[in-house]
Amino acid sequence: MPLDIPPADLDLDALARRASALAPAGSRAVLGVAGSPGSGKTSLARAVAERVDALSGTPGTAQHVPMDGFHLANGTLDQLGRRDRKGAIDTFDAWGFAALVQRLATDRLDPVYAPAFDRRVDEPVAGSIRVLPETRLVVVEGNYLLVDADPWSRIPPLLAESWFVATPEAEREARLVDRHTRHGRTPEAALAWAREVDGVNAALIEATRERATLVVDGRLPGVAA
């Protein structure tokens, strides 16, 4: 069962201290942050990594690595007939992401390069993120980290902890509509995508909440979609 902590007892600084404690000096830990579209998981993962760096006083102590870099390319999605539901579980290179997490957890001899996702071109960009050998905490983040199906099920055993970002559905939908309109969709198309694509994906993702170590409220100050 996950451990729920009321927002009043948990803030970003407390989360950063908890995350930092997962990887004492000379070691490395991988922290997983999961949640539905619009929950605020990306903002939380990025903020925790930044605050762990600040606590340590050494840049590169923590690194955020999002799953979004493993979106299949738009051309591939077109070939597969899946572009109209981009973001669904079968629109990612799941095996590639699982292999990356495995390497992040075990390889401290060489830099590890990971792809990022560029929303300006709506495509992944290879080699955009560098995880240094001396990095102690890697915060991997994505929708499907806790799905109990191969190859996703290979990820949780590699994680020191897994956090699930829980946000009420209405708040997630409002954030998603705002995001989609900012990236060029009409308000009507943004709402349709938030409900018919993101909403369908969320039904699967929300069911994985009970597998998390910790449930974090996605309405905490500093956490937004």
**Among all chains, which residue has been given the structure tokens 């990820």?**
155
At 85 the pLDDT is: 95
- Checking if the pLDDT of 223 tops 80, the result is no
Pairwise pLDDT comparison (15 vs 184), residue with the higher score: 15
- Checking if the pLDDT of 44 tops 80, the result is yes
In tens, the pLDDT along 133-164 reads 999 999 999 999 999 999 999 999 999 999 99
Distance CA 63, CA 153 (A): 23
| Chain-centre distance for alpha carbon 28 | 18
**Among all chains, which residue has been given the structure tokens 């890697």?**
138
Q: How many CB atoms neighbour CB 96 within 10 A? A: 14
The residue type at 109: L
At 221 the pLDDT is: 82
At 10 the pLDDT is: 73
Contacts 24+ apart (CB under 8 A), 110-116: 114/65, 114/69, 115/69, 115/70, 116/66, 116/68, 116/69
Give Cβ neighbours of residue 184 (< 8 Å, ≥ 6 apart): none
The dihedral over CA atoms of 38, 40, 45, 49, expressed in degrees to the nearest 10, equals 140
In tens, the pLDDT along 51-98 reads 999 999 999 999 999 999 999 999 999 999 999 999 999 999 999 999
In tens, the pLDDT along 168-221 reads 999 999 999 999 999 889 999 999 989 999 999 999 999 999 999 999 999 988
40 within 8 A of 224, measured Cβ to Cβ: yes
